[in-house]
Amino acid sequence: MNRYPSIGRVGVLALTLGVGGVTLPAGATPLDITPPAVSRAAVALTPVTPTLVTPGPVAPVVSALQLRQSPTVPSAPTYPAISQRFSLSSEVRVVVPESVDTATLLESLTGGPGQRDHVRAASRSLRLDGDRDEKQGAPEHLAGAPTSAGPNAVAALIGVFIGNGDEPGENGGLLIGNGAPGAPGQDGGRGGLLFGNGGAGGNGGNRGGIAPTAANGGNGGRGGLLAGRGGDGGMGGVADAQSGTATGGNGGKGGAAGVLGDAGRGGRGGNSSTQKGTALGGKAGDGGTAALGDGGRGGDGGYAISNDGAGVGGTGGKGGHAIVSGSGGSGGTGGTVIGTRDVTYGGEGGAGGRGGVLGGDGGDGGAGGNGHTNDGSGHGGHGGQGGKGGLGSDGGDGGKGGNGSSVNGNGYGSSGGDGGDAGAGGEGGSGGTGGKGKTANGGNGKDGADG
């Protein structure tokens, strides 16, 4: 017989473990029954008050955050539950919304202080995942640790406007910078639009063989518009022929100066030589022009040497003009020629440049080149004319005439160049002295008119 009708089939052990209950039949009066003592624990029966359960929001079951160990990623601290299960690969990508402080966020990811609060606040907008967040307006990924920034856009932009040319013939910056010298035969780079010197022109390449013509030198680069010196012209290439006519390359022109600055000098003409044939020295480059500075000097003409033929020296370059104020550039010297059998002619000197309108002396004319031969006749080159002076300034002197000589033939000196006229209040330039010759001397040049 069951002494405990209220216990039923559950059992004393179930009550002891707290998984059973006491149920009274409907309409029955509770009995005052004291259960017998239990050997290990006493079970006290207490009335059970029914609890009213009402429907409510069901909390989603959240999977716990699991971290997979990776040789390249240290173990991360355990965070509050996140809405999906994931594992970190060797490359961690962090999607950081614009509203999250990245410094504080990274501190929380590495176990810094206050990480729980930060992770909770960012859990709705921060995702650690191996894939890209495809939501509209998702921010860019930060792969792993912060990487170094790309090329400095500000420095690159400044380099376009300010900087020197470094490649052959490269221009300076758009605003400020020096042009780079040219490669062989290439023009020099120009200076910046505002400030900067022009680069020198490259020398012309040399030529050999039969009847070669050497390459010309490059022109000097222009200086900056406001201030900058013009680059010098490159020297013409050398021609060395086994036979036939050898022609030296022409010198490059000097670069123009900016408003403030001197102009570049003209390049020298290239030399020439031939074993049998005619040798022609290269023509020199003219000097550049200047606004408030001095004009560039003209280059010297190239030499000419012929062992069995005629020869002509290269013409000297003209001096550059000064436009507003400043002296004109001097003319270059004519090239010397040496022959053995035929006639030879020294190169003519270049004319001097004009002085500035508001003041500046004219440039001197270049001297004529000498002509020499063994059996033929030798003739000197004419001297260059002096440049005209500016307001209250003197004219340039004429260049000296070249000498002519021959061992077994005639030699004729050439005339000197005329002096340049002066500006108002200035003195005219002196005429150049005539060259000397075995047979005849050259006449002197005329003096320039006074202002």
CA dist., res. 267 & res. 107, Å (int): 67
Residue pLDDT, tens place only, 314-324:
999 999 999 99
pLDDT interval class at 4 (50, 70, 90)? very low
CB distance 281 to 313 below 8 Å: yes
Mean pLDDT estimate for the chain = 78
Kindly give the interhelix angle for 102-109 and 115-122, rounded to the nearest 10 degrees.
120
Residue pLDDT, tens place only, 328-373:
999 999 999 999 889 999 999 999 999 999 999 999 999 999 999 9
User: Cα separations (Å) of 441 from 80, 405, 417?
Assistant: 111, 10, 14
Q: Are strands 93-95 and 127-129 parallel, antiparallel or unpaired?
A: antiparallel
In single-letter form, the type of residue at position 396 comes to G
Q: Which of 149-158, 162-171, 369-378 has the lowest mean pLDDT?
A: 149-158
CB distance 417 to 431 below 8 Å: yes
Q: Which of 106-115, 133-142, 189-198 has the highest mean pLDDT?
A: 189-198
- Alpha-carbon dihedral of residues 130, 136, 139, 141, nearest 10 degrees? 20
* pLDDT recorded at residue 42: 39
CA dist., res. 281 & res. 271, Å (int): 5
If one compares 57 and 437, the residue with the highest pLDDT of the two is 437
Residue pLDDT, tens place only, 40-50:
443 344 444 44
Structure tokens given for 128? 């650690």
Q: What mean pLDDT is predicted for residues 221-247?
A: 95
Q: What percent of the chain has pLDDT over 70?
A: 66
CA dist., res. 95 & res. 125, Å (int): 8
HSE, side-chain direction, 13 A CA sphere, residue 436: 1
359 φ/ψ angles, rounded to the nearest 5 degrees? 145, 130
Q: Which of 54-58, 239-243, 408-412, 434-438 has the lowest mean pLDDT?
A: 54-58
- The structure's pTM equals 0.66
Q: What mean pLDDT is predicted for residues 438-446?
A: 96
- What residue spans define the domains of the chain? 1-46, 236-451
CA dist., res. 417 & res. 446, Å (int): 7
Neighbours of 137 (CB within 10 A): 7
* pLDDT recorded at residue 151: 58
* pLDDT recorded at residue 154: 72
pLDDT reading at 375 higher than 70 = yes
In single-letter form, the type of residue at position 255 comes to G
pLDDT reading at 148 higher than 70 = no
pLDDT reading at 94 higher than 90 = no
Strand ranges for 86-219 from DSSP E: 93-95, 127-129, 141-143, 207-210
Q: What mean pLDDT is predicted for residues 214-226?
A: 95
Of 272, 228, 269, which is closest to residue 252 (Cα–Cα)? 269
pLDDT interval class at 12 (50, 70, 90)? very low
